[in-house]
C-alpha cells in the first residue's frame, strides 16, 4: 500500500488512487499480487481513528454531482511509521530541522576504525559501533580514540588480511592489547612497522577531515573588515590543530622512509 501511494504524482502523493479514481481492494490485488481480503482488512484496520495511519475522504468527479454514497480515497497520514518518507514537499518544508548534537569522538573513532569518512557511516554501522563501544567500556572505562587506534593497529598485525570493524575489534579486544611477535625476521618486522605507521597516518588524515568540516565558519560581506574577503574560513584554533596534525604526518613519512630502508 505504501509503495502504491508513493507512486502518485506530486500533490496527490500518499493517496490510494489512480488518475483521480479511488483504488479498491480488488485493484490493489491486481497491482500487487496480494489477496484482496488482506487489503480489505488492512484498509479497515489502518483507517481506524485509534490507528490514524489512513484518512478517508469522499470522492467525486468534477463532472458529477456529489453522491450520498460516493467512493472514498484512503490517504497515508504523517502518523504512518513509513509515511514520512513519502510526504509531499509542502509538508517537508514545514518541518523543523533539529540541530546536530555534539559528536562523540570515541564513537567516531570506533565507527571508522576500518577506514573511511565518518560522514559515510551508515545507520547499521553506527548501531554496531555503539554496541561494541558499550562492551569495550565495560572492561576499559577510560577508553580514548588513541587507544582504539592502537588496538586497531595490533588487530591488523595479528589478523593479516582480515576485515577490521568495530564488532571485530570488540571481539578480539583483549588479544589486541599487544602486537604479535615478528615471525619471519627483520624483513617481516619492517613490513609490519610500515603497516602500523600507515594506519596512524590514516587516523590522522581522518582527524584532519573532521577538523576541516566542523571547525570552519562563513564570513559574510557585512562582517568583513578592511582587507578581508567573504567566504568560508577555518577558525584560528582549528587551523592551529590542523597544522600540528600535518606536522605529525610529515614525521611519520620520515619514519616510513627510514623503516623501509634496511640498515647495511
- How sure is the predictor about 10, in pLDDT bands with cuts at 50, 70 and 90? low
Question: What number of other Cβ atoms are within 10 A of residue 113's Cβ?
Answer: 26
Q: What is the helix (H) or strand (E) element at residue 217, kind and residue range? A: strand 216-219
Structural domain span for residue 20: 2-94
Torsion from C-alpha of 254, 260, 262, 263, nearest 10 degrees: 10
Give φ, ψ of 219 to 5 degrees. Answer: -105, 120
Instruction: Decide if pLDDT at 246 tops 80.
Output: yes
CB 229 within 8 A of CB 222: no
Give φ, ψ of 221 to 5 degrees. Answer: -65, -35
Residue 99 domain-assigned? no
Q: pLDDT for 211-220, tens place per residue? A: 888 877 777 8
Distance CA 145, CA 136 (A): 12
pTM: 0.39
Strand partners, 76: 54
Please indicate, yes or no, whether residues 202 and 263 belong to a single structural domain of this protein. Answer: yes
Q: pLDDT for 218-245, tens place per residue? A: 778 777 778 777 777 788 888 888 899 8
Please indicate, yes or no, whether residues 89 and 12 belong to a single structural domain of this protein. Answer: yes
Please indicate, yes or no, whether residues 139 and 89 belong to a single structural domain of this protein. Answer: no
Instruction: Decide if pLDDT at 166 tops 70.
Output: yes
Q: pLDDT for 37-82, tens place per residue? A: 877 887 777 777 766 667 766 555 443 444 344 455 555 554 444 4
Distance CA 155, CA 141 (A): 20
Q: pLDDT for 74-128, tens place per residue? A: 555 544 444 444 444 433 434 444 455 678 999 999 999 988 888 888 999 999 9
Please indicate, yes or no, whether residues 57 and 32 belong to a single structural domain of this protein. Answer: yes
Please indicate, yes or no, whether residues 205 and 137 belong to a single structural domain of this protein. Answer: no
Torsion from C-alpha of 8, 10, 11, 14, nearest 10 degrees: 40
Q: pLDDT for 200-213, tens place per residue? A: 888 888 888 888 88
Please indicate, yes or no, whether residues 58 and 132 belong to a single structural domain of this protein. Answer: no
Please indicate, yes or no, whether residues 123 and 136 belong to a single structural domain of this protein. Answer: yes
Q: Where a domain ends, among 94, 116, 132?
A: 94
Please indicate, yes or no, whether residues 113 and 89 belong to a single structural domain of this protein. Answer: no
Please indicate, yes or no, whether residues 80 and 32 belong to a single structural domain of this protein. Answer: yes
What's the domain count of the chain?
3
Amino acid at each position: 500500500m505504501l509503495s502504491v501511494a508513493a507512486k502518485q504524482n506530486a500533490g496527490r502523493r500518499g493517496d490510494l488512487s489512480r488518475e483521480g479514481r479511488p483504488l479498491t481492494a480488488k485493484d490493489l490485488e491486481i497491482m500487487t499480487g496480494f489477496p484482496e481480503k488482506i487489503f480489505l482488512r488492512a484498509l479497515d484496520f489502518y483507517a481506524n481513528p485509534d490507528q490514524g495511519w489512513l484518512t478517508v475522504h469522499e470522492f467525486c468527479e468534477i463532472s458529477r454531482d456529489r453522491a450520498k454514497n460516493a467512493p472514498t480515497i484512503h490517504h497515508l497520514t504523517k502518523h504512518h511509521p513509513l509515511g514520512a518518507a513519502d510526504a509531499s514537499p509542502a509538508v517537508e518544508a514545514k518541518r523543523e530541522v533539529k540541530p546536530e548534537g555534539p559528536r562523540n569522538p570515541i564513537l567516531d573513532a570506533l565507527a571508522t576504525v576500518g577506514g573511511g569518512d565518518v560522514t559515510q557511516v551508515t545507520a547499521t554501522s553506527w548501531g554496531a559501533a555503539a554496541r561494541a563501544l558499550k562492551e569495550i567500556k565495560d572492561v576499559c572505562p577510560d577508553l580514548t580514540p588513541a587507544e582504539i587506534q592502537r588496538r586497531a593497529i595490533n588487530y591488523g598485525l595479528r589478523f593479516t588480511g582480515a576485515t577490521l570493524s568495530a564488532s571485530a575489534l570488540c571481539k578480539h579486544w583483549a588479544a589486541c592489547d599487544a602486537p604479535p611477535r615478528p615471525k619471519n625476521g627483520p624483513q617481516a618486522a619492517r613490513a609490519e612497522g610500515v603497516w602500523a605507521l600507515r594506519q596512524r597516518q590514516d587516523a590522522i588524515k581522518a582527524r584532519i577531515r573532521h577538523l576541516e568540516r566542523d571547525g570552519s565558519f562563513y564570513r559574510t560581506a557585512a562582517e568583513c573588515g578592511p582587507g578581508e574577503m567573504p567566504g568560508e574560513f577555518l577558525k584560528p584554533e582549528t587551523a592551529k590543530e590542523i597544522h600540528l596534525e600535518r606536522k605529525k604526518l610529515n614525521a611519520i613519512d620520515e619514519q616510513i622512509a627510514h623503516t623501509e630502508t634496511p640498515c647495511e
